[in-house]
Every structure is written in structure tokens, then in C-alpha cells.
Amino acid sequence: MLRRVARDLLEMAIEASRDSHPNEFGALLRRNGDVIDELLLLPGTISGTDSALFRLHMLPIDPTVAGSLHSHPSPHPYPSDADIEFFGRLGEVHIIVASPYNMRSWRAYDRRGEPLELEVVRHRR
């Protein structure tokens, strides 16, 4: 199971989430070995104040897709029922970045919506 995430990925996701506010930001996560280190932006993703809708039919066949990342404009980084339903459809790690969009305002979850601990690492390809 993936248990590490690159710091620069989180920093990029935090900045993108801040820039998208008050709408949600959404992207998929890619892994390189055992480290989640890349954001994959899907064409046609729709962002609104209540959700980010992914067009999964636009997803290339890619075994390195590890899960998803999206933001919550509220200060609550906890998955909704709709989030958990989506988590079960794709990948094994899902990250939610909440307002105020900093290194303390994100949480990771497994496909059932259970909290995961991820080690933040400096990663070089």
C-alpha cells in the first residue's frame, strides 16, 4: 500500500486549491514506485462550490493512477458520502485539501473513507 506523498505535490495541490476557491479543485494522483508524486488533470473536469466532477471516461489506461485529490472550500477535510462512493471506484489513496489550504489542512483516506497516514517526503525522480 502507498504510504508516502511528495511534499512538492502537496504544495502544488494546496496552491491550486487556493487558486480555485471558492470552487473545488480536483485532480487524480499518480505514483512513481511507492511515492505519490504527480497530479493528473483530466480534461473536462467540472469544478463548482459543492463538488469537482471527474470525467473518468477521459482517463487514459494508466496503472500508475493511485487515487484522487480534491479540495473542500470549507475548513473540513472530511469525506462526504459522495466522496466515499467515488473513492471506491478508483485507486487506493484519496486526499482532501481544506481551507485555509496549508500543510496542516489536508487529510488522506483509503477507498472506504478510512483515514490514512501518509509520510510527506522530498522526492526526486
User: Is 24 a known active-site residue?
Assistant: yes
Is 43 a residue whose pLDDT tops 70? no
pLDDT at 124: 62
Distance CA 71, CA 77 (A): 8
Give pLDDT, residue 97: 97
Q: What is the pLDDT of residues 45-84, one digit of tens each?
A: 556 456 565 556 566 788 999 999 999 999 999 999 999 9
Active-site hit among 11, 15, 24, 38:
24
pLDDT for res 41: 81
pTM over 0.85: yes
From residue 55, how far is each of 16, 50, 58, 107 by CA, in Å? 19, 16, 6, 23
Q: What is the pLDDT of residue 62?
A: 85
- Looking at every residue in the chain, the average pLDDT score rounds to 88
What are the boundaries of each domain within the chain?
4-49+64-117
Structural fold of domain 4-49+64-117: Cytidine Deaminase; domain 2 (3.40.140)
Amino acid letter at 118?
L
The answer to whether residue 117 scores a pLDDT higher than 80 is yes
Average pLDDT over residues 22-33: 92
